[in-house]
Structure 1
Amino acid sequence: MTDFGTVPNRTAATMAREAAGRALADADLRAVDVGMVFLANAFAGTMHGQESVRGQAWLDGTELAGVPLVNIENACAGGSSALALARTAVAAGDVETALVVGTEQLSHADRRRAVRAMIGAMAQDRLPELRREFGLDDDSSPFMHVYARYADEYAASSGATAEDFARVAAKNRAHGAANPRAQVREAISVEQVMAGRPVVGALTVPMCAPIGDGAAAVVVSSAPSPRSVELRSCVVGAGVRGRAEQVVADTAKRAFHRAGVAPGDVDVVEVHDAASPAELIALEQLGLAEHGEAVALVRAGKTGIGGSVPTNPSGGLISRGHPLGATGAAQIVELVEQLRGESGTRQVDGARVAVAENAGGYLGPEPAAVTVSVLVR
């Protein structure tokens, strides 16, 4: 993956090329070895006018030009959805090796453009209804309001407090400080998180993922090397409007079943913490903690590196950053390196089983798209 951050001097194309080149070099492969490319991006249409053929345009002039390519848009879950399609193509025998690339550039001179793009991850015919529901004006993004509502509901049912959400953020900021590719690399205290600028409800700025740019890439192959990690399952789920939020739990159950492992076997996990309360909720939806237990885990420090459920050792979306189309692939990069024992001071000792949860869009109250992946070394 590339370094994540706010890099207006780069483009989705240059970052995609860099990540793809790094992934192929890591796998000791060349472009000629790739049978198909799956490229994920969410907002290049709104941000930069590239509505279609994004991958073909961005890889033009490289050795990957002409390799069969499919473009994927699935909101924040695009990178992991591309991974699911690549795994299917390889498992079906259509290609021996596929390349997944996720890339996103959210930097723009017009700072409101990214907000307008994110509104596109909701059903447009329901926008007036959603704006009324969250009390928003016409130029505001509802997503942090969504996460604030999740936070309130979770707090009411579990006893979690704003300080617990701050503990999650501080833990992920500490992890991100040790990640040389993270967008935010400054550790802060729980007290500093609590004192951050308010966003909505219990959320402060340090509890929320920053807007940023970056790319990540993954090679999927049926011809493993000694450094390979097995992608046991990669399962996509779709939310249903009006249904009590269960799509993550349902998708996780299918992913664990297909992988032949149980939640209790997991050594390290990356979850979609677009806001810090989402980490606690996701741990319980994945079955890594019973309802309400995640609060006790974070209070006891067990979700940090060295704990019993090390979560988001990359720093998560809060610190590593959240360039949407790249996020799901970046989670896999982190977990592959963890399972290889290549994560330096962020290393989870003895990690052999890993899980990633990546969600995107909003139908209300469920996310629109979810992917859960299980990896084994």
Structure 2
Amino acid sequence: MTDVYVVGTDMIKFGRFPDRTVGSLGGEAALLALDDAGLTIKDMQALYCGNNILANRMVGQQVLREIGQTGIPVVNCANACATGATAFREGWMAIKAGMYDLVLCVGVEQMGKGLLGSAEVEDGLSPEGVLGSITTPSVFAHVGMEHSRKYGTTFEQFAKVSVKNHHHSTLNPKAMYRIETPLEQVMAAEMISYPNTKLMCSVNVDGAAAAVLASESAAKRLGLMSRAVRVRASALVSDPFSERNLTTPDFNAATRLAAAEAFRQAGLGAEDLDLVELHDCFATAEIVHYENLGLCADGEAGRLIDSGETELGGRIPVNVSGGLLSKGHPLGATGIANIYELSTHLRGEAGARQVEGARIGLSHVVGLGTACAVHVLEKV
């Protein structure tokens, strides 16, 4: 089977665009990625589009109406926060299987403002309202408190995640919020669901990102290998079965399963990574994912954030983009935006936030439900 390469990728600056359509946002990101590759929509053999909120609106076709309808097949994906990563993986698999040589993957979402969560329950008693357990702030409050119970992780350690990621965002011109938030400010902000204050919650924004994938033969034929980034692994999983109370789900299992599969495919381990873009939907999530992805041993995540090793310039920089906490989290776009960030570093084109000498990067997204995607990218 052929290797698959990212030969073009880009994203729009995340923000709020109430006067635009989801198709126009996705179309803008698609054109940016195509321009980055030096190709056009006429070169693409298929489109894979991720959008979660308008899953039944055929958003991929709306994107093509903006940039050119060439008759290619369109696949629309919805997979919670892993939506964009799922679209990317579908494109990767199609090339890996020999179906196509060039495909376009787009992730796009218009989020609006307000709370996410509170899933509908068709039958029986919903735990929401009885335990207050299904909204996302409640889920990730539980995640944090369980980590504190087991390992003594402190409120201050959780808050340091936001300090770090907000600082990183000041170096990223495509982040929604580019502001420093000192530790005292993060800890004193409005409490949403302990231990996450308002400044420890991800930002609901509109956004779009895109990537052009190519087979090795196409990348060489088109002279695109000099800036190509190899997709060394692509893993997508759902929750394995466990006997547990579903009102307090095991948030760690899917990520550990996906990471193990990605490392198996890549023939690498966490010790080989140079940077990571992980799913920091809340500050507590980043802490537990340090351990889930093998960046440190179980119980050592608090020490890891204290050490500064996950900061730019540290041993394993995490969320140098600013992460979901300040770059923003448009569900359908996040997975491909992570791919863009990694690719930019592996190409040596990240400017002030460049991770020097980066050769291997890992992206991670996980959606409650659960869908978890992990990709490993490699500098050619």
Considering the TM-score relative to the shorter chain, is it more than 0.5?
A: yes
Quote the offset at 1:355 in angstroms. 0.3
Question: What pairs up with 1:223-234 in 2 under 5 angstroms?
Answer: 223-224=218-219, 225=224, 226-234=226-234
Question: What pairs up with 1:162-173 in 2 under 5 angstroms?
Answer: 162-173=155-166
Quote the offset at 1:164 in angstroms. 0.6
Cα displacement string for residues 226-267 of structure 1 (whole angstroms, at most 9, x for unaligned residues): 100000111101024655431111111110110111110000
Aligned residues of 1:134 and 1:142 also touching (Cα < 8 A):
no
Distance 1:271 1:5, change over 3 A: same
Name the SS of the counterpart of 1:130 in structure 2. coil
Check if 1:258 corresponds to 2:258.
no
Q: Partners of 2:302 and 2:326 in 1: how far apart?
A: 20
Name 2:377's counterpart in structure 1.
375
User: Which among 25, 29, 36 is matched to residue 39 of structure 2?
Assistant: 29
Cα displacement string for residues 176-229 of structure 1 (whole angstroms, at most 9, x for unaligned residues): 111101011111101110011110111100000011100000111113321000
Query: What's the C-alpha RMSD, in Å, of the aligned pairs?
Result: 1.7
Question: What pairs up with 1:2-151 in 2 under 5 angstroms?
Answer: 2-44=12-54, 51-107=56-112, 115=116, 118-119=117-118, 122=119, 124-125=121-122, 128-132=125-129, 134-135=131-132, 142-151=135-144
Q: Partners of 1:69 and 1:370 in 2: how far apart?
A: 23
5+ residue gaps, structure 2, are 1-10, 244-249
Q: Partners of 1:173 and 1:195 in 2: how far apart?
A: 16
Q: Partners of 2:148 and 2:94 in 1: how far apart?
A: 42
Quote the offset at 1:156 in angstroms. 1.3
One-letter code aligned to 2:358: A
Name 1:273's counterpart in structure 2.
280
Distance 1:305 1:126, change over 3 A: farther
Q: Partners of 1:35 and 1:280 in 2: how far apart?
A: 40
One-letter code aligned to 2:235: V
Q: Partners of 1:135 and 1:23 in 2: how far apart?
A: 42
Aligned residues of 2:159 and 2:283 also touching (Cα < 8 A):
yes
Aligned residues of 1:209 and 1:321 also touching (Cα < 8 A):
yes
Q: Partners of 2:145 and 2:237 in 1: how far apart?
A: 25
TM superposition score normalised by structure 2? 0.90
Q: Partners of 2:130 and 2:40 in 1: how far apart?
A: 51
Q: Which structure 1 residue ranges, 4+ long, deviate > 3 Å from structure 2?
A: 240-245
5+ residue gaps, structure 1, are 46-50, 363-367
User: Which among 310, 317, 337 is matched to residue 317 of structure 2?
Assistant: 310
Cα displacement string for residues 37-77 of structure 1 (whole angstroms, at most 9, x for unaligned residues): 000000026xxxxx332211332152245221100000110
Name the SS of the counterpart of 1:193 in structure 2. helix
Question: What pairs up with 1:182-261 in 2 under 5 angstroms?
Answer: 182-222=175-215, 223-224=218-219, 225=224, 226-240=226-240, 242=242, 244=250, 245-261=252-268
Name the SS of the counterpart of 1:155 in structure 2. helix
Cα displacement string for residues 69-93 of structure 1 (whole angstroms, at most 9, x for unaligned residues): 1000001100001111111000111
Distance 1:126 1:203, change over 3 A: farther
Aligned sequence identity (%):
37
Q: Partners of 2:127 and 2:213 in 1: how far apart?
A: 39
Q: Partners of 1:99 and 1:128 in 2: how far apart?
A: 43
One-letter code aligned to 1:106: M
